[in-house]
Amino acid sequence: MTTNEIIAEVFYCLIGIIFVLVGVKALRDGGMKRRISTALFWFILGFTFIAGPYLPYWVTGIAVVAIAVITATGGVKQSKSNDPQPEETRKMADKFGYKVFIPVLCLAGFAVLAASFLPFGASNAIGISAVAALVVLFFVTKAPAKATISDGTRLMDNVGPIGILPQLLAALGALFTAAGVGDVIAKGVSAIIPQGSRFIAVAVYCIGMALFTAIMGNGFAAFSVITVGIALPFLISQGANPVVVGALGLTAGYCGTLCTPMAANFNIMPTALLETKDKYVIIKSQLPVAAVLLVVHIFLMYFLAF
């Protein structure tokens, strides 16, 4: 293993430990439903992060299937956390003021600096910045070390199993590639895109992202399918800058999220929260912006990528 790979493994172990601690938190919560299956989910996930690279890959494959079985049967619930109370956070806010933003700004700032100036790679830079920001955090707040563990596991529990969706989708992309799914989509799409027309290819990709996202209500899932099927054969292999195509591809999908009741937690549930008369008032006010931004995406991607 190279130095960078060893550093990466250390960070993956830390993530694995956080997963295990979320499981331990569930085990300790005697009053929660589905306690054992919840703990099992987090333990298995932690195991794949820590031990995955040293085992035959099919072992991790089985672990992934086991995780899916647990979530499919509703086996993962949130356990009781020590949630910060409003009085507590208000008191702290008055004491520390805007200084509390410093560690958060460091988190993003250090990542960019570490990626630009340290030789450990952009992915490791995220882990390095997380550790460095933690040090800054202790200086600013004098928080007890224990707080990082309890608040870290609390947030991870809040995020829940959905947090591993991007990683799973990347794995799904690998199976799609092995089966040649991209080629099949590409063959179908080639009927629409005239030979060598870059602009139409860009437009089809952006609109395809928005449409698929609107249908599924999830931009991440759309991205893994549409990027393999359209962006790779018609844009990236035609010389388009992959950074531009990737970055703008996902946000083009979000234009679709703005238009769809399928993305209920963004567009429909808040109307209940705000007690509106019209259930679709959020979508209606978003439509013009979504349309403008989708057009912007197409032109921006075309001019930046080629």
Instruction: Please report whether residue 288 would count as binding another protein according to CB under 8 A.
Output: yes
What CA dihedral angle connects 252, 192, 179 and 236, to 10 degrees? Answer: -50
36 vs 69, beta carbon nearer another protein = 69
Instruction: Please report whether residue 270 would count as binding another protein according to CB under 8 A.
Output: yes
- Cα distances from 50 to residues 14, 15, 16, 46, 266, in angstroms, run 8, 8, 6, 6, 34
H helix runs in the chain, sequence order: 3-28, 35-51, 57-72, 86-96, 101-117, 122-141, 145-159, 165-179, 181-189, 198-216, 219-226, 232-234, 242-257, 264-267, 269-273, 281-305
Stretch that binds another protein, among 27-35, 190-198, 199-207, 272-280 (CB under 8 A): 272-280
Q: Could you say which of 27, 100, 207, 211 contacts another protein (CB under 8 A)? A: 100
Q: Could you say which of 6, 28, 33, 95 contacts another protein (CB under 8 A)? A: 95
Stretch that binds another protein, among 23-31, 114-122, 193-201, 202-210 (CB under 8 A): 114-122
Instruction: Please report whether residue 38 would count as binding another protein according to CB under 8 A.
Output: no
172 vs 200, beta carbon nearer another protein = 172
30 vs 151, beta carbon nearer another protein = 151
Please calculate the CA angle 191-193-195 and round it to the nearest 5 degrees.
100
30 vs 47, beta carbon nearer another protein = 47
Q: With contacts defined by CB under 8 A, how many residues of the chain interact with another protein?
A: 148
Angle, in degrees to the nearest 10, between helices 145-159 and 122-141: 130
Q: Could you say which of 26, 39, 40, 137 contacts another protein (CB under 8 A)? A: 137
